Amino acid sequence: MDILTLLAVVVVVLAGVGGIESRISRVDRRMARVERKLDRILDHLGLREEDPRLEEVTRLLRAGKRIEAIKVYRETTGVGLKEAKDAVDRMAA
């Protein structure tokens, strides 16, 4: 009987963790969408976010170090890999 109880507890905990991960994933997607919208608004208004580390991203791009530039961009802004890659690609264009 103790093994069944332990197994039931493990199943409940795993289900809870799965639910939490799902919620976090949804929140991450919503935040990314909001950040993209804010970036578009800033671009439309001609405003730029000034961050000294973003200058390092530009320097790395000029040196042909695209992967390092994406890494620094991610560390600086906290965005995901896809968003960082897209942003660095826009900076390179």
Tens-place pLDDT, residues 32-80: 899 889 888 988 898 876 777 788 999 999 999 999 999 999 998 888 9
How many Cβ atoms from other residues are within 10 Å of residue 21's Cβ? 10
Radius of gyration for the alpha carbons in the chain, expressed in angstroms and rounded:
20
Q: Where are the beta strands (DSSP E) in 1-42?
A: none
**Cα–Cα distance, 48 to 66 (Å, whole number):** 21
* Confidence (pTM): 0.49
Q: Minimal CA–CA distance to 55: which of 42, 40, 39, 72?
A: 72
- Give domain limits for the chain: 1-48, 49-93
74-88 per-position pLDDT tens digit: 998 888 999 999 999
**Cα–Cα distance, 42 to 44 (Å, whole number):** 5
